[in-house]
Amino acid sequence: MYILGIETSCDDTAAAVIEAKDGFNKPFFSVLSNTSYSQVAIHKKFGGIVPNLASRAHLEKIIPTIKEALRVAKIKLDKIDLIAVTRGPGLMPSLLIGINIARALAYRCRTPIIGVNHIEGHIYSNWLKPIRENPKSEIRNPKKIQFPALILIVSGGHTELVLMKNYGKYKIIGQTLDDAAGEAFDKTARLLGLGFPGGPAIARQAERWKSEKNTKYQVKLPRPMINSKDYNFSFSGLKTAVLYLYNDLIKKYPAKKIIPAIAAEVQNAIVDVLTAKTVKAIKNLKPKTVMITGGVSANKALREKMSKEFKSYKIPFLMPDISYATDNAAMIAVAGYFSAIGGSASGGNYLAKNSWKKIEANANLKL
């Protein structure tokens, strides 16, 4: 089965072609192409994503991006067996661009179309090997992915702990009560004057502070809800703490000294909370596999801490390759494949939805 994936949930215009076969038991994928157009340069001056500008950029770039994906994959559109498109969650104006293009292509070629949950796509990024590795090999050794699987989803708009009982069966056991982890990175970076996107900017400053080894400017920030009895998260208070700390320290010390120190502590605080909550869920729920996914899963400090922390539990711990951590269309194509062979490829469920719970209700996924 050749699948065209289309992703326009936020500010990345992406298209990919994968070859998929062998069902649930021993899934086999070849990533034939994975192309994307980033809008960072457009939104950077605003310090965040502007929805109407994002949708305009998608409209301009979506057709060239799809054409490039087909060209790199060396496949004609009429050879595509399934079109998988993100239907949400996301920015509604952006989602509609991808969905309407997908519907037009499906109508023209009489190709089945399926709407994909963007977050489910992120989960399936753990089934993908880097395209630079042998693309004809089995993905990630499926024998290591056993259910139930505990998944930490961390991105600009989402921070959730999900128990995946089987393909297409999920239970959200914890989620953010306010800001997502990626959103906290963006907002604190803005407060410190580091620009957008915030995650990479904070990470660079943290590395700078680490390399300088200047203990004089050590600071301390709270770890919100780290000791709560549930699996929920909260990061809005961290942003407020950074604001007060920065306003206090800037009166006493040079900005070039305190900004790296604060950035390092912001990263440490977020990583500590994410790790602690995941460890608590592992101890209580006894999953057979643990995964992290989403844009923030590309953070080096998070990867290193979780890899070290989970060694003692002797269960498979999976992280997506960096190339599949952020929004991409290959993960959407894989999620579309599993939904299709599970019987969900039917007319109607490509309608845009911006809430995961609404999508799950429509697609018969379990909460």
| Higher local confidence (pLDDT), 120 or 39 | 120
| The pLDDT of residue 352 | 59
Distance CA 116, CA 7 (A): 9
> The tokens of 43 are what?
């939104």
Same domain assignment for residues 285 and 354: no
State yes or no: pLDDT of 345 exceeds 60. no
Reported confidence tier of residue 344, pLDDT bands at 50, 70, 90: low
Same domain assignment for residues 33 and 139: yes
State yes or no: pLDDT of 366 exceeds 50. no
User: DSSP readout, 94-157?
Assistant: HHHHHHHHHHHHHHHHT--EEEEEHHHHHHHGGG---TTS-TTSPSS-GGG--SSEEEEEESSS
Whether the model pTM is above 0.95: no
Same domain assignment for residues 97 and 163: no
Same domain assignment for residues 273 and 169: yes
State yes or no: pLDDT of 343 exceeds 80. no
Same domain assignment for residues 93 and 208: no
CATH number of the domain residue 22 falls in: 3.30.420.40
Reported confidence tier of residue 268, pLDDT bands at 50, 70, 90: very high
Give the structural domain span for 349. 2-145+321-363
Same domain assignment for residues 180 and 298: yes
The string over 8-31, giving b where at least 16 C-beta atoms fall within 10 Å of a residue's C-beta and e elsewhere, is bbbbbbbbbbbbbeeeeeebebbb
Same domain assignment for residues 66 and 181: no
Query: What interhelical angle do 236-249 and 181-191 show, nearest 10?
Result: 20
Same domain assignment for residues 136 and 173: no
| The pLDDT of residue 359 | 43
Please report the beta strands in 135-283, taking only residues with DSSP state E, as ranges in sequence order.
149-154, 159-166, 169-175
- Give tens-digit pLDDT for 53-66: 888 988 999 999 99
Strand order in the sheet with 12-21: 28-38, 12-21, 2-7, 82-88, 113-117
Same domain assignment for residues 59 and 9: yes
Cis peptide before 222, with omega less than 30 degrees from 0? no
Reported confidence tier of residue 23, pLDDT bands at 50, 70, 90: confident
Same domain assignment for residues 249 and 327: no
Closest CA to 277 of 135, 151, 103, 110: 151
User: DSSP readout, 274-325?
Assistant: HHHHHHHHHHHH--SEEEEESGGGG-HHHHHHHHHHHGGG-S-EE---HHHH
Total domain count, the chain: 2
Reported confidence tier of residue 135, pLDDT bands at 50, 70, 90: very low
Q: Is the CA virtual torsion 44, 294, 7, 352 positive or negative? A: negative
Averaged pLDDT for residues 344-358: 52
| The pLDDT of residue 209 | 87
Angle, CA of 27, 155 and 354, to the nearest 5°:
85
Reported confidence tier of residue 197, pLDDT bands at 50, 70, 90: confident
Same domain assignment for residues 138 and 21: yes
| The pLDDT of residue 351 | 59
111, 336 contact by CB (below 8 A): no
Same domain assignment for residues 173 and 107: no
